[in-house]
């Protein structure tokens, strides 16, 4: 060590660094411009969504109101047609009967005619099927014979042998034939005079009534079968039987052409054996399961099967 020298500690040469930390805090100042832009964006977006929701809700409300209006309009007309049908039935009159009772007499007269047509055809050398016999009998019932109606009847039967048609018209016009039919079939009126004025109007309106439901657009969203079922309930058994016969003639072919008889089961309440096979072979006209009596028999058979298994 040098004399007079100053002794410096080594620690004096090592200075500790001084670290200065400044606290950083987030700014509490909001940029008004940025906030305004954000608010405008959110407000516009949310507002647009609410506006769109409002439009959709309004559209659905208007669409529902329109659908309800169409349904109400349909049902008003529907019930009006049912009332008109009931009125038509009440207004049908025949000496000694009115309303649905008339169809009982008409069916009796039809069966009487059915028994007359066959022997006349045989006598004239004509071989006719059961369906042809029923067709001729119905035309005789519908048009009748007489000064005004016989020409129309002959025209409707123009597909058959003219000699046979003339013999049939003559037979039905005989006093003895009419008196015998009236007595044996207990008819309260003079038979074979025709019922075009009664049945023509009745079947035209009935057809229009069923077709009104059948031709409703799918947008109406109705179960058509249920509405026609209510209409079918207005028909008595004899009305359904006469409707079936009418539908099998050229004047009633649209009942089958449009599928109304089958699709809506318009004659399903006709009892079993109501028509004999020589009158109408129902098994050839309808598939199994069509008639109400088949459901009843099926239920009885199922019950009997369950009993036998216990």
CA 18/CA 13 separation, integer angstroms: 15
What was the pLDDT predicted at 31? 63
Are residues 141 and 213 both part of a single domain?
no
> Does residue 227 form part of some domain?
yes
- The answer on pLDDT for 32 being more than 80 is no
Provide the phi-psi class of 144: left if phi over 0, else alpha when psi is between -120 and 50, else beta.
left
Q: What percent of the chain has pLDDT over 90?
A: 68
Are residues 256 and 189 both part of a single domain?
no
Picking from 281, 205, 210, 240, the residue whose alpha carbon sits closest to that of residue 107 is 240
CA 128/CA 117 separation, integer angstroms: 10
How many structural domains comprise the chain?
Answer: 2
Q: What angle do CA 224, 226, 230 make, to 5 degrees?
A: 115
Tokens of 77: 């007309």
Are residues 256 and 129 both part of a single domain?
no
Range with lowest mean pLDDT among 29-43, 156-170, 175-189: 29-43
CA 157/CA 139 separation, integer angstroms: 8
- The answer on pLDDT for 95 being more than 70 is yes
Range of the domain at 293: 56-91+196-302
- For 125-176, what is each residue's pLDDT tens digit? 999 999 999 999 999 999 999 999 999 999 999 999 999 999 999 999 999 9
Confidence of residue 70 (pLDDT cuts 50, 70, 90): confident
> Does residue 120 form part of some domain?
yes
What was the pLDDT predicted at 47? 66
What was the pLDDT predicted at 297? 79
Domain boundary pick from 173, 194, 215: 194
- For 96-118, what is each residue's pLDDT tens digit? 788 999 999 999 999 999 999 99
Q: What angle do CA 237, 238, 239 make, to 5 degrees?
A: 90
Per DSSP, helices labelled H in the chain are 32-91, 101-123, 130-143, 149-156, 162-173, 175-184, 196-214, 224-232, 237-247, 254-257, 260-263, 282-285, 292-309
CB 92 within 8 A of CB 188: no
What was the pLDDT predicted at 219? 85
Q: Looking at residue 218, what DSSP letter applies?
A: G
> Does residue 127 form part of some domain?
yes
CA 260/CA 263 separation, integer angstroms: 5
Confidence of residue 296 (pLDDT cuts 50, 70, 90): confident
> Does residue 262 form part of some domain?
yes
- For 205-249, what is each residue's pLDDT tens digit? 999 999 999 999 988 889 999 999 999 999 999 999 999 999 999
- Is 256 or 69 the better-scoring residue by pLDDT? 256
> Does residue 32 form part of some domain?
no
Are residues 69 and 213 both part of a single domain?
yes
The reported pTM is: 0.76
Q: For 46-55, what is the mean pLDDT? A: 69
Are residues 200 and 274 both part of a single domain?
yes
Are residues 86 and 118 both part of a single domain?
no
Mean model confidence pLDDT for the chain: 85
Sign of the Cα pseudo-torsion (225, 230, 234, 236, in order): positive
Are residues 102 and 180 both part of a single domain?
yes
Are residues 77 and 201 both part of a single domain?
yes
> Does residue 35 form part of some domain?
no
Domain boundary pick from 137, 166, 194: 194
Q: Match 């909001």 to its residue by tokens.
A: 30
What was the pLDDT predicted at 21? 44
CB 130 within 8 A of CB 281: yes
Are residues 145 and 176 both part of a single domain?
yes
What was the pLDDT predicted at 3? 43
Range with lowest mean pLDDT among 5-19, 250-264, 274-288: 5-19
Q: Looking at residue 30, what DSSP letter applies?
A: -
> Does residue 33 form part of some domain?
no
Are residues 202 and 73 both part of a single domain?
yes
Domain boundary pick from 194, 210, 234: 194
Provide the phi-psi class of 273: left if phi over 0, else alpha when psi is between -120 and 50, else beta.
left
- The answer on pLDDT for 191 being more than 80 is yes
CA 192/CA 181 separation, integer angstroms: 9
CA atoms within 13 A on the CB side of 254: 9
> Does residue 61 form part of some domain?
yes
CA 257/CA 77 separation, integer angstroms: 25
- The answer on pLDDT for 10 being more than 60 is no
Are residues 165 and 142 both part of a single domain?
yes
What was the pLDDT predicted at 179? 96
Burial 131-144 (b: 16+ CB within 10 A, else e): eebbbbbbbbbbbb
Are residues 200 and 87 both part of a single domain?
yes
């Amino acid at each position: 060590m040098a004399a007079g020298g100053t002794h410096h500690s080594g620690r004096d040469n090592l200075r500790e660094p001084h670290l200065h930390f400044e606290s950083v805090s987030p700014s509490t100042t909001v940029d008004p411009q940025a906030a305004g832009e954000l608010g405008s964006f959110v407000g516009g977006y949310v507002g647009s969504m609410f506006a769109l929701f409002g439009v959709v809700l309004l559209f659905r409300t208007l669409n529902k109101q329109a659908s309800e209006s169409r349904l109400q309009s349909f049902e008003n007309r529907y019930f009006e047609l049912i009332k008109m049908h009931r009125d038509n039935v009440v207004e049908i009159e025949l000496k000694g009967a009115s309303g649905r009772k008339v169809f009982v007499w008409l069916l009796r007269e039809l069966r009487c005619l059915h028994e007359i047509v066959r022997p006349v055809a045989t006598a004239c050398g004509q071989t006719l099927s059961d369906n042809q016999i029923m067709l001729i009998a119905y035309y005789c019932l519908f048009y009748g014979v007489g000064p005004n109606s016989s020409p129309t009847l002959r025209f409707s039967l123009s597909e058959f042998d003219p000699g046979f048609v003339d013999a049939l018209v003559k037979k039905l016009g005989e006093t003895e034939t009419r008196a015998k039919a009236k007595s044996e079939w207990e008819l309260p009126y003079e038979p074979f005079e025709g019922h075009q004025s009664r049945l023509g109007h009745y079947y035209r309106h009935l057809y229009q009534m069923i077709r009104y439901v059948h031709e409703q657009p799918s947008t109406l969203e109705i179960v058509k079968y249920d509405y026609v079922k209510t209409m079918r309930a207005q028909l008595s058994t004899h009305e359904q039987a006469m409707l079936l016969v009418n539908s099998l003639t050229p004047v009633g072919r649209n009942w089958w052409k449009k599928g109304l008889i089958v699709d809506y089961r318009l004659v399903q309440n006709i009892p079993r054996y109501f028509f004999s096979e020589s009158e109408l072979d129902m098994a050839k006209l309808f598939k199994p399961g069509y008639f109400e009596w088949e459901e009843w028999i099926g239920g009885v058979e199922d019950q009997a099967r369950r009993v036998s298994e216990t």
